[in-house]
Amino acid sequence: MLLNFAFRESLGAEDGFDAYMFEYTQYFAHGQGNVAAFRMKSRWTDDAPNSGLSSVDLRGYTRGQYLAEHSTSFEIDERIALTKQWGLTAFTGVSCLYGKDPLGNNLSCDKSDNIYPSAGVGAAYTINPSEKMVVRADFAVGKDDNYGVYLNFGQPF
């Protein structure tokens, strides 16, 4: 999926800029009801103010905490079926911020300061198996003491 959000002053935006997004998701069924899910996600901006910059978009980080013109992330989410209704989850991912940051510094993915890893575990409960309605609780950690606890209806992707 490829998207463009065009923020235009002529249509009421405070600052005019473009944000382009690309997302690719693939699912691999294996075993008895297990699924490995993969996602690649990128966001690029053109002439964005600080409020429109790209951010780390992984569990374990607060969106907007780390900013740059562009970001790319990769995630793997393993969904292990224990019973018809209960399952375990394990996930990992990495994100990179590149381009200019809010202070005007040039960032690139070849420096570890701009790489943001994430990993976590959780549990899933299928509320309604015929509709595949899932509630999921996850715990994720990132670098520099970043972490998060998540309770969601549905899968993250």
In tens, the pLDDT along 116-154 reads 999 999 999 999 988 889 999 999 999 999 999 999 999
Enter the tokens of residue 72: 């790319």
For the segment 89-120, what is each residue's pLDDT rounded down to a tens digit?
999 999 999 999 999 999 999 999 999 999 99
pLDDT recorded at residue 36: 98
Nearest to 2 by CA among 21, 24, 26: 21
Q: Compute the distance between CA of residue 107 and CA of residue 94 in angstroms, rounded to an integer.
A: 16
Exposed/middle/buried for residue 128 (C-beta within 10 Å: 0-12, 13-18, 19+): exposed
> Global pTM?
0.90
* CA 37 to the chain's CA centroid: 13
